[in-house]
Amino acid sequence: MWITPAYAQAAGGGGGDFFITLLPLILIFAVFYFLLIRPQQKKMREHQQMIESLKKGDTVVTGGGIVGKITKVEALENTVQVEIAPGVQVKVVKQTISDVLGKSKAQAAKEQPGQAQASAAGGGLFARLFPRAGEKK
């Protein structure tokens, strides 16, 4: 005979193959979680905290790149009024604020009195590390 019959081979141990097949998928999901999902959730949480801590006098940047100073926080409407030029105020949705550049000097002094005075006197990190003669560290 010219044609030889083909015989089916018996399937080898089936228990370990299922786990080995799923292992790459599990590893890919773990990499996605730790490199993409988790940092994005952390960034969203920080942005939400920043939005909740907005106060009158903060200098902010909107999503469109407009820089201005908050003049009024409207909690019920979830908006803030931002002064972008002397006498020019716009109403901005809180979620569109992308960054807080600075706080008013009065608020900074309330939050960190010692640090605000040191920075106002030209302190900063360098002055704290290397104080002048007669100053406390």
Instruction: Please state the rounded mean pLDDT for residues 107-133.
Output: 59
Per-residue confidence (pLDDT) for residue 18, from 0 to 100: 84
Domain 55-101, architecture per CATH: Roll (2.30)
Per-residue confidence (pLDDT) for residue 97, from 0 to 100: 93
Q: What pLDDT, in 10s, does the model give residues 38-54?
A: 999 999 999 999 999 88
Six token digits for residue 136: 């406390």
Give the contacts of 103 (CB within 8 A, at least 6 positions apart): 55, 57, 58, 59, 111
Per-residue confidence (pLDDT) for residue 66, from 0 to 100: 92
Per-domain boundaries in the chain:
15-52, 55-101, 104-137
Per-residue confidence (pLDDT) for residue 116, from 0 to 100: 46
Six token digits for residue 112: 């960190």
